[in-house]
Chain A
Amino acid sequence: MSSATGQKPVTEDLAREFGLTAEEYGNVLSIMGRTPSLTELGIFSVMWSEHCSYKSSRVWLRTLPTTAPWVIHGPGENAGVVDIGQGLAAIFKMESHNHPSFIEPYQGAATGVGGILRDVFTMGARPVANLNALRFGSPENPQTRRIVDGVVRGIGGYGNCVGVPTVGGEINFHPAYDGNPLVNAMTVGIARQDRIFLSAAAGIGNPVVYVGSKTGRDGIHGATMSSSEFDEDALAKRPTVQVGDPFVEKLLIEACLELMATDAIVAIQDMGAAGLTSSSVEMAGKGGVGIDLDLDAVPQRERGMTAYEMMLSESQERMLIVIHPDRTELARAIFEKWELDFAIIGHLTDTGHIVVRHQGRVEADIPLDPLADQAPLYRRPTAPSPEPAPLGPITDPVGIEQALIRLIGCPDLASRAWVWNQYDSTVGGQTVKRPGAADAAIVKVEGTSLGLALTTDCTPRYCRADARQGGAQAVAEAWRNIVATGARPLAVTDNLNFGSPEKPEVMGQFVAAIEGMGEACRALDFPVVSGNVSLYNETRAPDGSSVSILPTPAIGGLGVLDDVNRAIGLAMPDEGTLVLVGATRGELGQSLWLREIHGREDGAPPAIDLAAERRNGDFVRQQIEGGHVLACHDVSDGGILVALAEMAMAGEAGCILSAPQSGMRPEAFWFGEDQSRYVVAVRDAGAFTVAATAAGVETRVLGQVGGDGLTLPSGATISKARLKAVNSAFFPALMDD
């Protein structure tokens, strides 16, 4: 077989340019028994890229717990699927678009949202909510503002247009993300359990249908680029930026859901990274069949595209469907109604090969089994990170009041309203708790009494100090945020963002974080049902060395409320007693107080006792279910006093606080970040604490709801107006808005 005229000769050097190692290329040669064509080399290189093959992470991901009686499909499908009752399923996943968002923040973030939406509706779900977990560089870095602006506009631009409410997320700033922001987008959808669509192709001879937008030369080699280390050169790889078209995505959602209501579909898969290649290879591979593609039939946006370009294009808003042959005209009519391209571009075969034809020539002919089975799998060397040095004695140079003011105005705690006010959070008419109203967003399942509780969480500074604790903490905080609304936590999706796996210390962080996550998931019956790994998040320092981001295993959590009317928020009610649930030792290691007041990121992160986590959370949820809790907020960044300030700012009333725990320094009590704690407002504190004691849960009365601000034990009152002014200043100042 000859490669197309005018194309580069395939050599080991070219293979290396494509991101394959010499050894990997050797395997390609032995699988093929000849020199591959350029198109074949392209297919191998993307399928064996970190992004598609998970070659550095696969052995570790397998160790995560992924099952529970309510899990319908765990990792391995386009998204995770869990039973939420009443014959319905929630389908959800999180995915990164980190590198594209650095190169072109608007389009990078927008296409990230588009991609994760497709992962969810491809399974038959109507998307009902989006969330996003964002990490940006230092606010002082002049690039940060441009990136924040573009990313937020991009997420809003896409999500608002497709009409899926953006209901939550999280944002951190840290210099470790200066040249490498993280944009992790999560989508949640709802489907009937008996109408879930999978991607395994079946039925020799069945047509393979292409729908959506036309193919252009967008993002060729995006999959390999997103796996390669990121540096200034990346900016020169520009012209292949993908542009999203949310309008077409909206049409695609409606058209696919309309088709899914019929019996036409055998299998369906979105075209994500490495577009046509990965979708066709994965569908055929999972179904154990062969696939023949005729690229002349592919709808093309540009003239003269080669087979190589079409197979590797990452043009957005496209899907591949295997269809029952007698339903093709029905399907065609639906896509034509929605004014989308529809083309039969191939069929399934019994050859076990993917065969790609273009202009009368076979451009690729690859056996699928070895392409999958012999994909590289690395158990890369790991090195332990040094144990964090103990914090040692610490003083309070500013006092409680000053510290609170500094904390609630700092980048990691400042109000995110500037961000979420650019996201349509109400479209669909089912948003019960909008951003900022509760620890998890609450979205009603239309036409039922059910509610979904949704959150994303991770505390990267904990992960850097101790990746295992940090991994466990991220899972626990997601679980806690769901519990705090009264919902039952069901499952998580994750987005594991790390530096270069070729650095043993990064691999060490990765492995430790997964261990910690796994422990927490097991202890909390909170399995991982989908996820994404993003490695090589590195930037080049001026001295030429490469610097890794903070280890950031972002967790997306999902819970369910059988009766959504029972969901509670965090806003201070107009009456009640404030009670702390959970034990306080006053842990200031890696706390925001330490960072903002002392400028230090030191010490061990707060320890996490998963048995206590479970006990405290189960108790809080039962109390909410029993109708005994007026408001609830978990204690996380910034500790108890920050949690109280956030409740006050969200509500109408303030609070009057009692003296801190005796025998503990006040700053350690008010700002320590001990885990597994909640602040609740209850009407009957006596009954609540008695029930807690019976459940083996430690509680402590913090004070009373009342007044117009935070009245400290000293008698000083910080007015709510002042709290709000400080809290809401950061984003407008950063963005000059």
Chain B
Amino acid sequence: MKAGIVVFPGTNRERDMAIALRVVTGREPVMIWHGETDLPDLDLVVLPGGFSYGDYLRCGAMAAHAPIMPAIRRFAEAGGHILGVCNGFQILTEAGLLPGALLRNGALRFLSQDCHLRVERNDTPFTRRWNAGDVFRAPMAHGDGNYIADDATIRELEDSGRIAFRYSRPDGRVDEGDRQTNPNGSVKAIAGVLSANLRICGMMPHPEDLVDPLMGGEDGKPLFEGLVEALVR
């Protein structure tokens, strides 16, 4: 699998993402500078976490207009696979490649803690290594992860199965109103969403930071392994 990681000014989890991709693919992902206007030949484009442009104005707003974005849009239109994590998710929503928006966390504080994610379907390249209903642990680290969209959009996401992950209890129960298990207050406890063609996935927590038992576990690894399985040509 040929993966590329897009680096914007202020991106800071590109190294974490590179480690995770290296662990599963055995090869070094390409780093793509935001100022480029073309993408190399890739199977997967990753928008990693961080604070692009300082997260000033709105998280991801300025990065969504970076010179590389038209090329990413073209890649998406051609059916390319894109993973956006944390700031990457915010950028994808700001760019309109995924629906909805991410507001300040409900408690108005940055949250850096482990959370549990329930896998909503397993027939996507991002989730195929799990079973629907499986729960895995992932660190979250964000100030603006409170997912929101208008009612019609949420209904459409639900109806078409475009919710990839929800915040849940370790046993898989979801409780939107519970701050312990839906820490940032996301509507319907949504932690990750998919594009209509299921090839673009955005999520707030960081599976890439849990791919090594030394760092506390390998809970995030199936996501990357699944991508390799699905995308290797």
CB-based contact B110/A156 at 8 Å: yes
With CB as the reference atom, state the residue of chain B lying closest to A435: B112
CB-based contact A429/B209 at 8 Å: yes
CB-based contact B111/A163 at 8 Å: no
CB-based contact A250/B113 at 8 Å: no
CB-based contact A246/B12 at 8 Å: no
Q: Does B79 contact A (CB under 8 A)?
A: no
Instruction: Please give the distance in Å from B173's CB to the nearest CB on chain A.
Output: 19
Assess A250 versus B12: contact at CB under 8 Å? Given A160-B51, A429-B209: yes
CB-based contact B53/A247 at 8 Å: yes
Instruction: Please give the distance in Å from B77's CB to the nearest CB on chain A.
Output: 29
Which of B13-21, B89-97, B150-158 is the interface stretch? B13-21
Interface-centre pick from A246, A430, A446 (highest chain B CB count, 10 A) = A430
CB neighbors of B among A422-441 (8 A): 422-432, 434
Residues from chain B with Cβ under 8 Å of A162 in the complex: 12
Residues from chain A with Cβ under 8 Å of B145 in the complex: none
Assess A429 versus B9: contact at CB under 8 Å? Given A245-B54, A246-B54: no
User: Could you tell me the distance between the alpha carbons of A417 and B30 in the complex, rounded to whole angstroms?
Assistant: 37
Q: Which residue in A160, A421, A427, A565 is a CB contact (below 8 Å) of B214?
A: A565
Q: Mark B157-168, 1 if CB is under 8 A from A, else 0.
A: 000000000000
Residues from chain B with Cβ under 8 Å of A427 in the complex: 12-13, 16, 49, 141, 209
CB-based contact B9/A420 at 8 Å: no
User: Could you tell me the distance between the alpha carbons of A428 and B9 in the complex, rounded to whole angstroms?
Assistant: 16
Residues from chain A with Cβ under 8 Å of B74 in the complex: none
CB-based contact B54/A422 at 8 Å: no
CB-based contact A425/B112 at 8 Å: yes
Q: How many A-B residue pairs have CB under 8 A?
A: 93
Q: Mark B41-66, 1 if CB is under 8 A from A, else 0.
A: 00000000111011110000000000
Residues from chain A with Cβ under 8 Å of B202 in the complex: none
CB-based contact B110/A163 at 8 Å: no
Assess A163 versus B112: contact at CB under 8 Å? Given A247-B56, A426-B206, A430-B215: no
Q: Does A633 contact B (CB under 8 A)?
A: no
Residues from chain B with Cβ under 8 Å of A161 in the complex: 10, 12, 51, 54-55
Q: Does A339 contact B (CB under 8 A)?
A: yes
CB neighbors of B among A157-183 (8 A): 157, 160-163
User: Could you tell me the distance between the alpha carbons of A338 and B33 in the complex, rounded to whole angstroms?
Assistant: 11
Residues from chain A with Cβ under 8 Å of B216 in the complex: 434
Q: Does B27 contact A (CB under 8 A)?
A: no
User: Could you tell me the distance between the alpha carbons of A422 and B55 in the complex, rounded to whole angstroms?
Assistant: 16
User: Could you tell me the distance between the alpha carbons of A430 and B20 in the complex, rounded to whole angstroms?
Assistant: 12
Interface-centre pick from B19, B20, B53, B54 (highest chain A CB count, 10 A) = B54
CB-based contact A429/B54 at 8 Å: no
User: Could you tell me the distance between the alpha carbons of A156 and B19 in the complex, rounded to whole angstroms?
Assistant: 24
Q: Which residue in B9, B13, B15, B113 is a CB contact (below 8 Å) of A247?
A: B9
Residues from chain A with Cβ under 8 Å of B20 in the complex: 429
Instruction: Please give the distance in Å from A436's CB to the nearest CB on chain B.
Output: 11
CB-based contact A163/B208 at 8 Å: no
Instruction: Please give the distance in Å from B50's CB to the nearest CB on chain A.
Output: 6
Query: How many chain A residues have a CB neighbour from B under 8 Å?
Result: 34
Residues from chain B with Cβ under 8 Å of A157 in the complex: 110
Q: Does A251 contact B (CB under 8 A)?
A: yes
With CB as the reference atom, state the residue of chain A lying closest to B111: A421
User: Could you tell me the distance between the alpha carbons of A424 and B113 in the complex, rounded to whole angstroms?
Assistant: 8
CB neighbors of B among A385-402 (8 A): none
Q: Does A444 contact B (CB under 8 A)?
A: yes
Instruction: Please give the distance in Å from B36's CB to the nearest CB on chain A.
Output: 12
User: Could you tell me the distance between the alpha carbons of A430 and B54 in the complex, rounded to whole angstroms?
Assistant: 23
Residues from chain A with Cβ under 8 Å of B19 in the complex: 429, 446
CB neighbors of B among A368-418 (8 A): none
Residues from chain A with Cβ under 8 Å of B53 in the complex: 247
Q: Does A564 contact B (CB under 8 A)?
A: yes
Q: Does B139 contact A (CB under 8 A)?
A: yes
Q: Does A23 contact B (CB under 8 A)?
A: no
Q: Which residue in A153, A424, A429, A444 is a CB contact (below 8 Å) of B15?
A: A429
User: Could you tell me the distance between the alpha carbons of A426 and B15 in the complex, rounded to whole angstroms?
Assistant: 12
Q: Does B71 contact A (CB under 8 A)?
A: no
Residues from chain A with Cβ under 8 Å of B107 in the complex: 737
Instruction: Please give the distance in Å from B87's CB to the nearest CB on chain A.
Output: 11
CB-based contact B55/A444 at 8 Å: no
CB-based contact B51/A247 at 8 Å: yes
CB-based contact A250/B10 at 8 Å: yes
Q: Which residue in B13, B49, B109 is a CB contact (below 8 Å) of A422?
A: B109
Q: Which residue in A426, A430, A565 is a CB contact (below 8 Å) of B141?
A: A426
User: Could you tell me the distance between the alpha carbons of A161 and B10 in the complex, rounded to whole angstroms?
Assistant: 7
Q: Which residue in A163, A422, A737 is a CB contact (below 8 Å) of B12?
A: A163
User: Could you tell me the distance between the alpha carbons of A420 and B109 in the complex, rounded to whole angstroms?
Assistant: 12
User: Could you tell me the distance between the alpha carbons of A375 and B16 in the complex, rounded to whole angstroms?
Assistant: 47
User: Could you tell me the distance between the alpha carbons of A469 and B49 in the complex, rounded to whole angstroms?
Assistant: 46
CB-based contact B112/A422 at 8 Å: yes
With CB as the reference atom, state the residue of chain A lying closest to B17: A429
CB-based contact A429/B112 at 8 Å: no
CB-based contact A160/B110 at 8 Å: yes
CB-based contact B112/A423 at 8 Å: yes
With CB as the reference atom, state the residue of chain B lying closest to A245: B54
User: Could you tell me the distance between the alpha carbons of A521 and B10 in the complex, rounded to whole angstroms?
Assistant: 40
Residues from chain B with Cβ under 8 Å of A247 in the complex: 9-10, 51, 53-56
CB-based contact A251/B9 at 8 Å: yes
Residues from chain A with Cβ under 8 Å of B110 in the complex: 153, 156-157, 160, 422-424
Residues from chain B with Cβ under 8 Å of A153 in the complex: 109-110
Q: Mark A703-737, 1 if CB is under 8 A from B, else 0.
A: 00000000000000000000000000000000001
CB-based contact B208/A429 at 8 Å: yes
Q: Residues of B at under 8 Å CB distance from A?
A: 9-10, 12-13, 15-16, 19-20, 49-51, 53-56, 107, 109-113, 139, 141, 143, 206, 208-209, 212, 214-216
A–B complex contacts, Cβ < 8 Å, 10 sampled: A156-B110, A160-B141, A161-B51, A162-B12, A245-B54, A251-B9, A426-B139, A426-B141, A427-B141, A429-B16
Closest 6 CB pairs of A and B: A163-B12, A247-B54, A429-B16, A424-B141, A161-B51, A426-B209
Having A426-B209, A428-B16, one finds 10 other A-B pairs with CB under 8 Å, namely: A161-B10, A248-B54, A250-B10, A251-B10, A423-B110, A424-B141, A427-B12, A429-B208, A430-B215, A432-B215
